[in-house]
Chains A and B, each alone.
Chain A
Amino acid sequence: MARVGVFICHCGVNIAGKVDVARVAEIIGRMPEVAFSTDYKFMCSSPGQKLVADAVKEHGLNRIVVAACSPKMHLPTFQKTIAKSGLNQYLISMANIREQCSWVTLDSDEATEKAIDLVRRQAKRVAHQDPLEDVAVAIEKTAVVIGGGVSGIQAALDIADGGRKVILVEKSPSLGGKMAQLDETFPTLDCSQCILTPKMVEAAQHPNIEIRANTTVKKVGGYVGNFEVTLERRPTCVDATRCIACGLCVTKCPVRDVPDEFNAGLGKRRAIATPFPQAVPAIPVIDRRYCLRLKDSLGHDPKSQEDLGHVPRAKCGACEKICPAGAINYDDKGAEETVKAGAIVVATGYQEMSPAVYTEYGGATYPDVLTGLQFERLVSSTGPTGGHLVRPSDGKEPQTIVFVQCVGSRDPSKGHEYCSGICCMYTAKHALLYKHHVPSGQAYVCYIDVRSPGKNYEQFIRRAIEEEDVRYIRGRVGKVQRRADGRYRVFTEDTLVGRPVSIDADMVVLASAVEPQSDAASLAQTLGISYDADGFYTEAHPKLKPVETATAGVFLAGACQGPKDIPASVQQGSAAAAKVLALFANETLRKSPQVAQVDSSACTGCLTCAYVCHYSAIEEKQVAGRQVAFVVAGKCQGCGACAAACKNKAVTLAQFSDDEVFEEMMR
């Protein structure tokens, strides 16, 4: 027989100001189930909790109802309280008489009547609640980090230093991500690669880190502590175990004009290549779309056929001949492996928005109208020009340069509604770099607002304006016109003085927006995490859970969660690592007991429950010669779809059983 104790909270005046709490306590006290009922000013205060704890002992209570704020607020508090006083922590229920009564009801008599009824229902419900134990799940103490950019590298290193194994998955041939493409970094102007490559090397040499380059995540099964991640390596045709990274193959490759992704399409590379000199791993990769030996054997789409148009079709094989290690394998079919992992860190970064939609700026059409990333490559010593800042069109030094801000950012009509956050700073940096390359030249920045939060950021902007005489013009650029003389006229407006301005420039740099990777959505679905309207991954709580996702065991780091600069990305990498290490610090994982269970004596084995289970947590099982359904508690997330689908109620969802819902809904 249930002996329910009911505790009505005044919440100061929040509840008591509207609800006659004494009356509620008095009337509820008459319920047959209720053995004790009282009210108090602040139940969540320590005297309030003591009141509960003492009453449990004094009145031999075995079920508790706290009528106060939303259970989302204080249920855990009171669970701990009653646990301390020896009751199972799940033998409690909260009546939400603040958010859902006193705060939303105008008339105080109505509020009181409603409160009485809300408490009555919880008292009825709690009498049908069962003691529950958390589900213990073993933890596979290996982390999979998806994305080898600076954020992913940071996460991997921190986890590895914490003594846990890491599998670092990178889609491209090398670690490094966007940062590897950068020349120098704001606001310190220290060399990007100089600070990144050591970390890449450290990751490569770390005993706890395994790198999987050219690899993507194909499938994710399992659940926190026990994920099964299926990795797919695309065919590279170079056996990483044999390759000694001598680079001879690259020098011998006859196909010399493959657009170079690493140089943002500015330079050319071979059909077999390492993306850049400091690549980690330094294993070259054959690009099957261009390799003479392989292109025929592939079903090509017409487009890539065009790319190959003028290349002499021959049975090549140069790299294979020259390779001293016999590492070339044209028949490479790629590989698939499934790894077990307890946690997943998603650090897939961002991509630079193509300015092609901005035809008025000639983005992607005019040779000397570049994107931010292209400019980085152009001034980089490892870039296509070896660090000489010249115009792609005629190789001349640009005497005048215009930087156009917010191309694709803060522009719902053509681009994205959000601010890409980093453009203001990297544009200022570009302007400075330009001045360092062309001291005599003039740089203009057309901006809407200059946003420079962050340590020493504003000073950095001032430095550009004051020391290097970079002209900042406030106004959105309307048009970039290519002139007959090969120069570019930029039409804009100076909104501060309110008159139209036009600048003749030799080069225009568009600060293209940061946007989610094109495959962000599909990866999200593979991982079972959610993403926002812009396509960035959603954190569990914008303030309190910045690197968690709604899916336990999957964490976020870097720009895949939203535009970020390097410091923020690194911070998140470390934060995610900390979360992973915290998780791995436990021997087993305590999971909410809110899981489904099958009464095999009532189960017909139709497996309807299994069909509706989003987590494949329900399996078949033989019991007494009958095929019945069986819930894998570790996998079950407690949504209750199965409980709702089972026609003869053989499936019960703990904490939301039919019994409990029934008692709560009955009038």
Chain B
Amino acid sequence: MTDLQQKARELLDQGEIDALLAWKVDPAIDDVRPTLFKKGDDAAEIVFDERCVHNLANYLPTLTVRYNRVGVVLKGCDGRSLTTLLIEHRINKNSIVALAPACEGVKVNGARAQKCDDCPTATSPVADYEFGTRKAKDDAEFKQLERIEKMSSEERWQFFSEQFAKCRRCYACRQVCPLCYCELCIADQPEPRWIEPSRKLSANAMWHLVRAYHLAGRCSDCGECSRACPEGIPIRLLNIAVEKLVREQFGARPGTKPDELPPLVTLAKDDSDEVMEEHL
């Protein structure tokens, strides 16, 4: 039994938690699936490996309503989402117990996920119990951005319009995102119609811009949006484009500091004034 499984069992047996959210293999699909463990005896079935790609923080707001105390296994990126969820009052810290194994990176469609190269904290910043050694990591390089940055405006639009055109507006990207939790998403609001609901390029582009903007300075780069997209749109590109800016200009690394407000709700009088003056 791994330390993780051991601790999970302990917490469940001692009634420290009412349920534990982790991963379990389903032979039927020969893959792991997020699973809610209720009995300590099942703890042995918990897996934590490169297949555990899902961001479990997404489930906590609902689960913490159903259960008094929920245990959850978090990767670094999931933990960063959790930080922001705590700051934004989605969850009460007392109602969760965070088990934070050191993440070695995950695989999507058999290949190492791009987000893992850019991951600033392999171990969750919110951690009641840590497993493995917390690795100090360099800042994200956002390699995937480079090819976009090389493009001219025309080429960029060429690229993104093709991507956006595919969008069926199923909003899977919204639903898998722990930080997209609005009561009434702006995309669903009839008056005024900031985002037209039907599937056409301009409306799709509008949706993806607004979505990315609303995650600015909050996105933990868990990459779920890209993974969940049925059309394979590289949605994450927009998020990291913003995160790069947020990091460079506001010195913020969303979710890494549990006591730090997101950069777009704070301000600094000495921010660069370039964005306002560069045309003059």
Interchain nearest-CB distance for A194 vs B (Å): 48
22 residue pairs A–B, Cβ–Cβ below 8 Å: A601-B183, A602-B184, A603-B183, A604-B183, A605-B89, A607-B88, A608-B88, A611-B265, A611-B266, A612-B265, A645-B264, A645-B265, A648-B184, A648-B185, A648-B189, A649-B184, A649-B189, A658-B192, A659-B191, A662-B192, A662-B194, A663-B192
- A607 and B261 CA atoms in complex are apart in Å by 11
The DSSP consensus for interface residues of chain A is loop
A378 close to B (CB within 8 Å): no
Closest residue on chain B to residue A613 by CB atoms: B265
Interface positions, chain B 131-182, Cβ under 8 Å from A, are 181-182
The DSSP consensus for interface residues of chain B is loop
Interchain nearest-CB distance for B129 vs A (Å): 28
CB-defined contacts of B192 to chain A, threshold 8 Å = 658-659, 662-663
Q: Mark A580-605, 1 if CB is under 8 A from B, else 0.
A: 00000000000000000000011111
B38 close to A (CB within 8 Å): no
A556 close to B (CB within 8 Å): no
Check A604–B194 contact: CB distance below 8 A. no
B interface list, Cβ under 8 A from A = 88-90, 181-186, 189, 191-192, 194, 214, 261, 264-266
Interface positions, chain A 627-651, Cβ under 8 Å from B, are 627, 645, 647-650
A606 close to B (CB within 8 Å): yes
CB-defined contacts of B189 to chain A, threshold 8 Å = 648-649
Check B88–A647 contact: CB distance below 8 A. no
- A649 and B185 CA atoms in complex are apart in Å by 9
CB-defined contacts of B265 to chain A, threshold 8 Å = 608, 611-612, 645
Closest residue on chain A to residue B88 by CB atoms: A606
Decide: A647 near B194, CB < 8 A? Known: A605-B89, A627-B89.
no
- A663 and B194 CA atoms in complex are apart in Å by 11
Check A647–B89 contact: CB distance below 8 A. no
CB-defined contacts of B214 to chain A, threshold 8 Å = 647
Closest residue on chain B to residue A601 by CB atoms: B183
CB-defined contacts of B90 to chain A, threshold 8 Å = 604, 606
Check B261–A648 contact: CB distance below 8 A. no
- A659 and B185 CA atoms in complex are apart in Å by 16
CB-defined contacts of B182 to chain A, threshold 8 Å = 602, 604, 647-648
CB-defined contacts of B266 to chain A, threshold 8 Å = 611
CB-defined contacts of A606 to chain B, threshold 8 Å = 88-90
CB-defined contacts of B184 to chain A, threshold 8 Å = 602, 648-650
- A605 and B261 CA atoms in complex are apart in Å by 15
Most buried by A among B183, B261, B266: B183
Check B191–A648 contact: CB distance below 8 A. no
Check B186–A607 contact: CB distance below 8 A. no
- A647 and B189 CA atoms in complex are apart in Å by 12
Interchain nearest-CB distance for A451 vs B (Å): 37
In this complex, how many residues of chain A approach chain B with their Cβ under 8 Å: the count is 20
CB-defined contacts of A627 to chain B, threshold 8 Å = 89
CB-defined contacts of B191 to chain A, threshold 8 Å = 659
Decide: A650 near B183, CB < 8 A? Known: A605-B89, A606-B89, A607-B88.
yes
- A663 and B182 CA atoms in complex are apart in Å by 24
Interface positions, chain A 104-147, Cβ under 8 Å from B, are none
Interchain nearest-CB distance for A607 vs B (Å): 6
Decide: A607 near B183, CB < 8 A? Known: A647-B214, A658-B192.
no
- A612 and B192 CA atoms in complex are apart in Å by 23
- A608 and B218 CA atoms in complex are apart in Å by 12
- A605 and B90 CA atoms in complex are apart in Å by 8
Interchain nearest-CB distance for B211 vs A (Å): 10
- A602 and B185 CA atoms in complex are apart in Å by 9
- A608 and B90 CA atoms in complex are apart in Å by 12
Check A602–B183 contact: CB distance below 8 A. yes
- A607 and B182 CA atoms in complex are apart in Å by 12
CB-defined contacts of A612 to chain B, threshold 8 Å = 265
CB-defined contacts of A607 to chain B, threshold 8 Å = 88-89
Closest residue on chain B to residue A660 by CB atoms: B192
CB-defined contacts of B88 to chain A, threshold 8 Å = 604, 606-608
Most buried by A among B88, B194, B261: B88
Most buried by A among B89, B194, B261, B266: B89
Interchain nearest-CB distance for A305 vs B (Å): 36
Most buried by B among A602, A603, A606: A606
- A455 and B67 CA atoms in complex are apart in Å by 81
- A306 and B266 CA atoms in complex are apart in Å by 44
- A608 and B186 CA atoms in complex are apart in Å by 16
CB-defined contacts of A611 to chain B, threshold 8 Å = 261, 265-266
- A658 and B266 CA atoms in complex are apart in Å by 23
- A606 and B265 CA atoms in complex are apart in Å by 11
- A663 and B185 CA atoms in complex are apart in Å by 20
- A354 and B270 CA atoms in complex are apart in Å by 30
Interchain nearest-CB distance for B179 vs A (Å): 10
Pairs of residues from A and B, 5 with the lowest C-beta to C-beta distance, nearest first: A648-B182, A662-B192, A611-B265, A606-B88, A647-B214
Interchain nearest-CB distance for A179 vs B (Å): 37
CB-defined contacts of A647 to chain B, threshold 8 Å = 182, 186, 214
- A602 and B194 CA atoms in complex are apart in Å by 17
Check B183–A648 contact: CB distance below 8 A. yes
Interchain nearest-CB distance for A130 vs B (Å): 13
Interchain nearest-CB distance for B93 vs A (Å): 15
- A73 and B117 CA atoms in complex are apart in Å by 58
Interface positions, chain A 497-542, Cβ under 8 Å from B, are none
Interchain nearest-CB distance for A608 vs B (Å): 5
